[in-house]
């Protein structure tokens, strides 16, 4: 069969992984085709993930801050929410970024093809397009097909009152009673948005902690604040059934903390994401896919088939956009003949809740589990001039050091802008910084970033063999 398109590299999927790989490869002179099943480039992150959620969280933050100022003598009154306008704002933000990607693809002469791709051999990808099937013959492939929300099987998914994060981000309306199943990052971000817009939000989490990946102390200030904003947060509890009735979705629970409400206008299921590795005909290319749909790769992002690479959510945790983009550059560079490897020491995680929670490297819990000898420097924001000035003193900054070398191995921050603050600590870990490097770095006053220097000094105060 004659190929419709011949290329050196085909990239399957145009999320943060896929578009970054395609653009980097093109910049390095590789003739590249980018295949995406949707008309809009950008994948989950730009279209139905990171970006629209942050646009809506911005609205939520403004609403909450305006309300909080009433206690300090500045009142704005009850917010008037024009949901259509707010939705348009979100759509415009997404459009600006996805449109930008289309322009960048053109500028780089990356050929884009809209359609669903499946491998038919180790050098051929068949793409079902609006104009029929097209066969692409490639020398190299980078699989960046991403992930999708886990759908709880017992739920009546054909009822539009049951949604995943994509449905919640559509912002059709503001439901009166919203149930969020799953208290991870995505569930809590959406709970924050809808609570600010006026929904009564109940969160149910199966584990004994919200955002189970982060240290428990970081969660406490968030849990406390959410307690005041949400109708209820229920840990160690499971939603076991959901029935569509005329009045609403009726849910059944099992566990330690059963919510009073059983009838909801909307149920958001945010219990995790599963990789799309099983949907792309990987077997036809000889690429091994795990039972759960992940594709294993080496440090050059190569699959078991040496000329086929995989990146992003598809290759494992953490499923984060910035991990995907870094893996993408490695894969593209290797295709172009460079000797790149993915060797990041750490990948920061951020929950853009209010307050934000950000952490990087080793957590205290991990250190304990692994028996690592660590020391901790902590700076409470009650002592931060800036935090006091913005009336947000619930936060703190925590640095985790290796006891033998005093090098930083991990950090956690809870508080407003924690997500922006964590980057300094990712850099500190990558550079092998010691507590003194951080403590002696002059941080501008009065900023929340000062808390980082102060936390390092707090640790230095506990040790005697520093100089």
Among 9, 12, 94, 411, binds ligand FAD (CB under 6 A): 12
Of the candidates 24, 26, 30, 53, which one interacts with ligand FAD according to CB under 6 A?
A: 53
- Please count the residues of the chain: 467
CB 126 within 8 A of CB 285: no
Q: Residue from 15, 183, 221, 348 that binds ligand FAD (CB under 6 A)?
A: 15
Q: Which is nearer to ligand FAD, 34 or 408 (CB)?
A: 34
The window from 12-20, 170-178, 289-297, 436-444 that contacts ligand FAD (CB under 6 A) reads: 12-20
Segment 121-180, which members bind ligand FAD (CB under 6 A)? Answer: 144-147, 165
Task: Give the tokens for residue 42.
Answer: 């950008």
50 binds ligand FAD (CB under 6 A): yes
CA 217 to the chain's CA centroid? 21
DSSP secondary structure, 222-267, as one string = HHHHHHHHSSEEE-SEEEEEEEE-SS-EEEEEEESS--S--EESEE
Distance CA 421, CA 401 (A): 18
DSSP structure string for 279-302 = GS-HHHHT----TTS-----TT-B
Q: Which DSSP string do the residues of 194-210 spell out, in sequence order?
A: HHHHT-EEEEE-SSSSS
In whole angstroms, how close is the CB of 295 to ligand FAD at the nearest point? Answer: 11
Both ends of the chain: CA-CA distance in Å? 71
Other Cβ atoms closer than 10 A to 104: 15
* 105, β-bridge pairs: none
Asked if 182 interacts with ligand FAD (CB under 6 A), we say no
Tokens of 225: 């604040």
- Closest to ligand FAD by CB, 116 or 393: 116
Q: Which stretch binds ligand FAD (CB under 6 A): 9-17, 233-241, 300-308, 377-385?
A: 9-17
14 binds ligand FAD (CB under 6 A): yes
Residues 307-366 that bind ligand FAD (CB under 6 A): 312-314, 319-322, 324, 352
Interacting span for ligand FAD (CB under 6 A) from 42-50, 94-102, 246-254, 400-408: 42-50
Q: How far is the CB of 354 from ligand FAD (least distance, A)?
A: 14
Q: Is 445 a catalytic residue?
A: yes
From candidates 249, 280, 360, 422, binder to ligand FAD by CB under 6 A: 280
Q: Under rule CB under 6 A, how many of the chain's residues touch ligand FAD? A: 37
Q: Which CB sits closer to ligand FAD, 418 or 455?
A: 418
Q: Which residue has the tokens 């199966």?
A: 206
Pairing label, strands 177-181, 200-204: parallel
Contact residues for ligand FAD, defined by CB under 6 A: 12-18, 35-38, 43-45, 49-50, 53, 116-117, 144-147, 165, 186, 276, 279-280, 312-314, 319-322, 324, 352
């Amino acid at each position: 069969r004659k190929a419709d398109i011949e290329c050196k590299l085909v990239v399957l999927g145009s999320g943060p992984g896929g578009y970054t790989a395609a653009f980097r490869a093109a910049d390095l002179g590789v003739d590249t085709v980018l295949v995406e099943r949707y008309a809009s480039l950008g994948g989950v992150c730009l279209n139905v993930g990171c970006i629209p959620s942050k646009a809506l969280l911005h609205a939520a933050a403004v609403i909450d801050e305006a309300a909080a100022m009433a206690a300090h003598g500045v009142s704005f009154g009850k917010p008037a929410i024009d949901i259509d306008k707010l939705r348009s704002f979100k759509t415009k933000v997404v459009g600006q970024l996805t449109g930008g990607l289309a322009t960048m693809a053109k500028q780089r002469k990356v050929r884009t093809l809209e359609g669903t791709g499946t491998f038919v051999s180790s050098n051929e990808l068949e793409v079902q397009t609006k104009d029929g099937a097209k066969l692409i013959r490639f020398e190299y492939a980078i699989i960046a097909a991403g992930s999708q929300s886990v759908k709880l099987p017992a739920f009546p998914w054909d009822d539009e009152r049951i949604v995943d994060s994509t449905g919640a981000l559509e912002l059709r309306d503001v439901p009166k009673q919203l149930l969020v199943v799953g208290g991870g990052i995505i569930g809590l971000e959406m709970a924050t948005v809808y609570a600010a817009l006026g929904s009564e939000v109940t969160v149910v989490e199966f584990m004994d902690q919200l955002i189970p990946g982060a240290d428990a102390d970081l969660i406490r200030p968030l849990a406390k604040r959410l307690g005041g904003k949400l109708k209820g947060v229920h840990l160690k509890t499971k939603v076991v059934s959901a029935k569509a009735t005329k009045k609403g979705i009726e849910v059944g629970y099992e566990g330690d903390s059963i919510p009073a409400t059983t009838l909801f206008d909307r149920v958001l299921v945010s219990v995790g994401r599963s990789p799309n590795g099983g949907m792309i005909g990987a077997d036809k290319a000889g690429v091994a896919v795990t039972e759960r749909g992940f594709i294993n790769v080496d440090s050059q992002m190569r699959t078991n088939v040496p000329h086929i690479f995989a990146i992003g959510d598809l290759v494992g945790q953490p499923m984060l956009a910035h991990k995907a983009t870094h893996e993408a550059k490695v894969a593209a560079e290797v295709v172009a003949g460079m000797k790149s490897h993915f060797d990041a020491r750490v990948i920061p995680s951020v929950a853009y809740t209010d307050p934000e929670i950000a952490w990087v490297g080793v957590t205290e819990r991990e250190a304990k589990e692994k028996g690592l000898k660590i020391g901790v420097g902590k700076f409470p924001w009650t002592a931060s001039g800036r935090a006091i000035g913005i009336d947000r003193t619930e936060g703190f900054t925590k640095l985790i050091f290796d006891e033998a070398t005093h090098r930083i191995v991990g950090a956690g921050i809870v508080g407003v802008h924690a997500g922006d603050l964590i980057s300094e600590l990712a850099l500190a870990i990558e550079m092998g910084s010691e507590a003194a490097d951080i403590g002696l770095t002059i941080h501008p006053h009065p900023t929340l970033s000062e808390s980082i220097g102060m936390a390092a000094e707090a640790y230095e105060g506990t040790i005697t063999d520093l100089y």
